Structure 1
C-alpha cells in the first residue's frame, strides 16, 4: 500500500539538493523548536556522511529511504500527545 508523503512534491525529489530542501521543509511541521533543531542537525550530518556518494542507484535509494523516514517521523509526532 502506497502512503502519501509528508509534503507535496516528494515525488519530484531527484537530487541530493532537492532532498535537503525537502527535508528542511518537513522539519517545519515538527511540533517544537527543539525537535526541529534535532532533526535539522541530523539532516546536515547525514548529508556530510553521504557527500562523496556518486552511484546514481545508491543516491536514489538514499532519497527514497529519507522520504520514507521523514514520513514516519512526522507521523510519530502527529500521533503523539505533547505536554502542554
Structure 2
C-alpha cells in the first residue's frame, strides 16, 4: 500500500520527485522533513542523467516502496507512543 494516492501513476522522474516531496509533508517533525527532503533532492540529482526506461522504472518502484516503509515506521512509532502513554495513565 502506497503512502499517498497516485503512486501507481508515477512514470517520470519529475513525478516521482514531486510525489516524494508530498510524502515528506506527512513526517512528524521539521527535522525529519528536512532530512528526507535533502535525501530526495540528492537522489534526484544523482540519477538525473539516467535514460534507460527499465532502470527508471526500477528506481521509481524502489523509491515508492522506501517511502512506504519510512511512513509505516513513523506511524508505528506514533501508535506505540500513544499506547505507552495510555498505559501510563491507567
TM above 0.5: yes
**Structure 1 stretches lacking a partner, 5+ long:** none
1:63 corresponds to: 60
Query: 1:54 corresponds to which residue?
Result: 51
| Aligned position for 2:3 | 6
Partner of 1:19: 16
3-state SS of 1:80 partner: helix
- Structure of larger gyration radius: 2
1:20 is displaced (CA, Å) by 0.4
1:58 partner SS: helix
Q: Which runs of 5+ in 2 are unaligned?
A: 82-90
Superposition TM-score, scaled by structure 2 size: 0.85
Q: Which residue does 1:31 correspond to in 2? A: 28
1:40 and 2:34 equivalent?
no
Give the CA deviation at 1:80.
1.1
Structure 1 segments, 4+ long, off by >3 Å, are: none
